[in-house]
Amino acid sequence: MEININVGTYDGKLLGFSLNDQFSQNNTLYSFPASTSLIKTIFQNGRYLFIGGSEELIKVYDVRRRVEITLLEQHNGTITQIAGHSNFLFTAAEDGKVNLWRNKQWAILNTFQCGNPVICIAVHESGKILACATKDQKLHLYNLMNLKRIALKKFHFNIDKIHFISKEDEIQYLLFQSDRKCYIVDCETNKVTHTIDITVQITDSILNQDSLILSDANGIVYMIKLTVDNQIQSKIIVKFVAHQKRIKQLQLFDLNEQTYLASISSDGDIKIWDCLLYANEQYDDIDLKNKLKPIYTIRTTQRLTCFCVSVVQRKQAEQEQQQEQTKIEKPTVVPIAKQIKKQLVNKKPKQFDQNIKVQQVQKKKIQKKKVELQQMNPILQSVLNSPQYSRSIPKKQHQFASIYRVPTKYKARSWKPYTERDKSEDYLVEQMRPKIRIRLPSLQHQDSNKSHQQMLPRESEKEKKIEITTKVMYYLSRMTGPENASKSKKYREKEIQSRLMPGVNSYDGLYDEMYDEDDN
């Protein structure tokens, strides 16, 4: 088990520390300027860390990968508080809005308009009720099931923090932290039933089952026991000095079936306490002062403003690292279609000579290949043996650069011995010469069912050039006008390239054949 502590400073820096479960070693994970101004609130929900301040932005970080994911820019004021429940995020700001976000998608689901700057928000454990306190001493309650306002109440005191006191999954009381007092309000009568007075200004408060933990500006921590029956009663159990200066924030975390208290102050110290072990005991002297000592302290030279604590299991972190390594080391599985493509492209055509010895050698090679086919995957073997795939056509007649399936029109032909005409150079040149393809834009409108690629028949070179030049000049005159048809070759190429059909990037070297004689 590891304890991760993320701390925000007045200068806008984000500090990260890690502790082991025995509180013996301290490692600094990171320290970098996350904001140009002070960081006012930090919240962590699983692997995501949220930071807000006077920049009017909410930065989202991935703690595991240590990477900034996104920025949430829907507020026009200082971010006052960030809260969350399961996969949802709530952000409050001084522009009077409370935004409801969905994690991972980072989309706004709803915006609650409070009218005045929002000081604090609180979400019930069930995730059905949202409470917002504004600067004009008003409390707004919203039902998150239908996203409508339930109640609006104005009090005679400022509300700095809200807590729900529930019994049997029903909210009975609301506890409000104010300047120097804590007020407990009954939800049925909407009246203050009990007050807790402290002479010094209260900086933070935490409600843990039947106990209330408070901190003041002098660095003192109070542990108060609450009894909720017919009447609410409060009693201070423990009181000790935690810091020399003002305590900025308190937080509880569970580790090895025990709850610990973490605190930060403006003097730059982070301390961890096991004071909750003394909550159920009774002391003659309530004021322990310096008798209670922290388990572990982390000293920084920064002015701290807020922090959050999370407990991470080492096994999960190790498993995640192993999974990432296996993903990298895992061999890539080649699909069957690509295997077929490689074998078809790399397949050489059969060549038979009149010599009997050469034919015998080729028969032995064919037998070896048959043995290889028997050891092959049965699915791949059945596909290769199908009639629609040819294995005896040279590469130059059919190209498999961007297709996996061989068209049915390319079928293997029966072998015939070479004649004198086949051995001639003119015949070989004609075979090696690529077929010329012209994409005519008008064919798409005439015959939509047919393809807009037209193959010219094999004729003599003169007739072929005449047909190509007449058609191209006709379509040049249609696309660029008769005046431009007599211009230079480069100009015509640019005009055609700009007006080709979508998806066509070239005209397959049409002008290279047409204007070889002109260039010479």
CA neighbor of 28 nearest in space, from 5, 60, 51: 5
Strands 107-113 and 118-123: unpaired
Specify the pLDDT at position 423.
Answer: 58
Higher pLDDT, 107 or 375: 107
Terminal C-alpha separation, the chain: 81
Flag whether pLDDT at 99 surpasses 60. yes
pLDDT digits (tens, 9 = 90+) for 477-488: 555 555 555 555
Flag whether pLDDT at 169 surpasses 80. no
pLDDT digits (tens, 9 = 90+) for 211-235: 899 999 999 999 898 888 778 888 8
Specify the pLDDT at position 399.
Answer: 41
Phi, psi of 422 (to 5 degrees): -65, -30
Share of the chain above pLDDT 70, in %: 59
Strand partners, 225: 211, 235
- The structure's pTM equals 0.60
Please report which confidence band the pLDDT of residue 138 belongs to, taking 50, 70 and 90 as the band edges.
very high
Flag whether pLDDT at 507 surpasses 90. no
Please report which confidence band the pLDDT of residue 496 belongs to, taking 50, 70 and 90 as the band edges.
low
Residue identified by tokens 């055509």 is 349
Specify the pLDDT at position 232.
Answer: 86
Distance CA 224, CA 222 (A): 6
Structure tokens at 19: 């502790």
Please report which confidence band the pLDDT of residue 39 belongs to, taking 50, 70 and 90 as the band edges.
very high
pLDDT digits (tens, 9 = 90+) for 331-371: 555 566 666 656 655 554 544 444 566 667 777 777 766 66
Please report which confidence band the pLDDT of residue 445 belongs to, taking 50, 70 and 90 as the band edges.
very low
Specify the pLDDT at position 152.
Answer: 93
CA neighbor of 212 nearest in space, from 194, 190, 227, 201: 227
Mean pLDDT of 401-407: 43
Specify the pLDDT at position 46.
Answer: 87
Per the prediction, the chain carries an average pLDDT of 75
Q: Would residue 74 be called left, alpha or beta, if left means φ above 0 and alpha means ψ between -120 and 50 degrees?
A: alpha
3-state secondary structure of 205: strand
Structure tokens at 217: 């500006």
Specify the pLDDT at position 22.
Answer: 85
- Which residues touch 116 (CB under 8 Å, ≥6 apart)? 96, 134, 135, 136, 138
